[in-house]
């Protein structure tokens, strides 16, 4: 039996005590789920599940909402605005996936399961769906050793002379099906082997390594808005301390009332970044490790030392990228005075430009992205950076490793072989119309020394 003592919500009745009469099998099921391998490496998701389940069992289901979960599970301020902070929604998606994995792989025979219907956060304890269509029970036929359904054993009204022909057709059909099944299995094995050899899978295996958690950090678009208003960049030290909010030159009045307090209270990120975070979280390689999505503003250096890290956005949108500047040749940045995104090429090789600026030629916008795979902080773990001079540039970096053919060709160029993937940074150019990024190609690349 588990110990359950959730922090009571305002106006909620006292927390339930599993040792008291009336405790039902739902608590026992919850205890089994929380103690499972699926949730052992995901303490935050376990806290999420424990909170909503115990409050539901205690009769508080109507009071459970995104705001309360953010406060009681994710340590958000009671005044935080749930619509501005996606952590509960993002983690709820992961929690639903983990529950499905648990009941499919660890508890396939459990008669009672837990689900969290989409559109809400109240868990449902329900009997496993027994209405799913089942295969007919098979039994040996009387003659020929052929298998037929139990329902087909009734006396046939066909003439006796037709019986041998009927059995022959049945044997032929089953044999053909068996051959097709073997071919399908062989094709599946061949496809699996091909996929396991792809360069993209090798990269994902390096990042999503069993036993080492992964943290995904999207860009801070509230910071971008602050830099746009003040026309100045925010370095990492000021970002971490929050001292950049002490500026006195913010506009006295505006439609959004952009004061220091407003910036301190609001956290935004782009839908493109969230889509990438979700896409990464669903990779098969991530099933054996804990994957978290963390807002850049609440991240700490110690988090990066103990985890593999995926950063989304250039230095202007995600100051944490600055920790890797000494190892990167391509620096993605933004000039707030001229409102231009650019990539600084610190050590240009022959034929390379020293700076790549976003530009528009004949109505087509040229943007730049950088995909970098390099060692983690203090050489602990691995890091993967998706950067761009704008949304289209970031999307080009995001899509590149998911394009198996293009990425495999690139991996061969940098010397990847077998399960080995050298550290690298690739400068990508994308041509886009209307913000979409339909065409991407590698301009140049550098290998990064370990």
Helix axes 404-413, 199-207, angle to 10 degrees: 80
Mean pLDDT across the chain: 78
Q: Regarding beta strands 364-375 and 424-432, do their DSSP bridges make them parallel or antiparallel, or are they unpaired?
A: antiparallel
Q: What is the dihedral of CA 296, 301, 302, 307, to 10 degrees?
A: 60
Q: Name the strand (E) or helix (H) holding 355.
A: strand 355-357
pTM, to two decimals:
0.57
Whether residue 359 has pLDDT greater than 90: no
Share of the chain above pLDDT 90, in %: 31
Task: Answer for the pair 379, 326: CB distance below 8 angstroms, yes or no.
Answer: no
The 10s digit of each residue's pLDDT in 183-229 is: 444 444 444 444 445 899 999 999 999 889 999 999 998 898 888 88
Which one is predicted more confidently, 443 or 361? 443
Nearest to 56 by CA among 29, 83, 75, 79: 29
The 10s digit of each residue's pLDDT in 105-127 is: 888 888 899 999 988 899 999 88
Q: What is the dihedral of CA 160, 162, 163, 169, to 10 degrees?
A: 180
The 10s digit of each residue's pLDDT in 12-45 is: 334 444 444 345 788 889 999 998 888 877 788 8
Whether residue 361 has pLDDT greater than 50: yes
Q: Which two tokens stand for residue 433?
A: 């119309």
pLDDT of residue 313: 92
pLDDT of residue 261: 74
Residue 344's DSSP bridge partners are 331, 355
Confidence band of 129 (pLDDT split at 50, 70, 90): low
The 10s digit of each residue's pLDDT in 307-356 is: 999 999 999 999 999 999 999 999 999 888 888 889 999 999 998 999 99
Give the residue extent of every domain in the chain.
Answer: 25-127, 199-220+269-447
Distance CA(18)–CA(57), nearest Å, equals 10
The runs of H, that is alpha helices, within 233-324 are 236-241, 260-265, 271-281, 301-305
């Amino acid at each position: 039996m588990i110990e359950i003592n959730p922090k009571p919500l305002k106006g909620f009745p006292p927390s339930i005590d599993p040792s008291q009469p009336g405790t039902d099998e739902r608590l026992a099921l919850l205890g089994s789920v929380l103690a499972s391998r699926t949730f052992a490496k995901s303490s935050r998701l376990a806290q999420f599940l424990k909170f909503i389940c115990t409050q539901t069992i205690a009769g508080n289901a109507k009071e459970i909402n995104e705001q309360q979960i953010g406060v009681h599970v994710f340590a958000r301020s009671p005044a935080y605005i749930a619509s501005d902070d996606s952590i509960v929604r993002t983690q709820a998606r992961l929690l639903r996936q983990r529950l499905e994995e648990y009941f499919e792989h660890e508890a396939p025979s459990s008669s009672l399961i837990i689900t969290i219907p989409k559109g809400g956060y109240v868990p449902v304890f329900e009997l496993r769906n027994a209405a799913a269509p089942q295969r007919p029970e098979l039994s040996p036929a009387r003659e020929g050793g052929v298998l037929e359904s139990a329902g087909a054993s009734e006396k046939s009204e066909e003439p006796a002379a037709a019986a041998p022909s009927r059995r022959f057709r049945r044997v032929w059909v089953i044999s053909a099906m068996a051959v097709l099944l073997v071919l399908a299995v062989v094709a599946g094995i061949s496809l699996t082997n091909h996929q396991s050899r792809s360069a993209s899978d090798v990269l994902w295996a390096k990042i999503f390594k069993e036993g080492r958690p992964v943290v995904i950090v999207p860009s801070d678009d509230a910071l971008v808005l602050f830099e746009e208003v003040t026309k100045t960049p925010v370095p990492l030290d000021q970002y971490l301390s929050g001292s950049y909010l002490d500026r006195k030159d913010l506009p006295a009045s505006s439609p959004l009332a952009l004061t220091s307090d407003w910036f301190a209270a609001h956290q935004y990120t782009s839908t493109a970044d969230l889509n990438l975070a979700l896409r990464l979280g669903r990779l098969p390689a991530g099933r054996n490790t804990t994957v978290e999505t963390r807002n850049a503003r609440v991240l700490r250096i110690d988090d990066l030392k103990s985890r593999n890290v995926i950063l989304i956005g250039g230095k202007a949108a995600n100051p944490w990228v600055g920790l890797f500047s000494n190892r990167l040749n391509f620096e993605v940045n933004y000039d707030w005075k001229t409102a231009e995104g650019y990539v600084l090429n610190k050590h240009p090789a022959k034929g390379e430009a020293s700076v790549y600026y976003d530009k528009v030629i004949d109505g087509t916008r040229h943007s730049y992205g950088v995909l970098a795979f390099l060692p983690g902080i203090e050489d602990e773990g691995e890091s993967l950076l998706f950067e761009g001079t704008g949304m289209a540039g970031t999307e080009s970096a995001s899509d590149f490793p998911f394009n198996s053919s293009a990425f495999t060709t690139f991996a061969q160029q940098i010397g990847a072989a077998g399960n080995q993937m050298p550290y690298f940074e690739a400068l990508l150019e994308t041509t886009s119309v209307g913000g979409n990024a339909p065409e991407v190609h590698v301009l140049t690349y550098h290998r990064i020394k370990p």
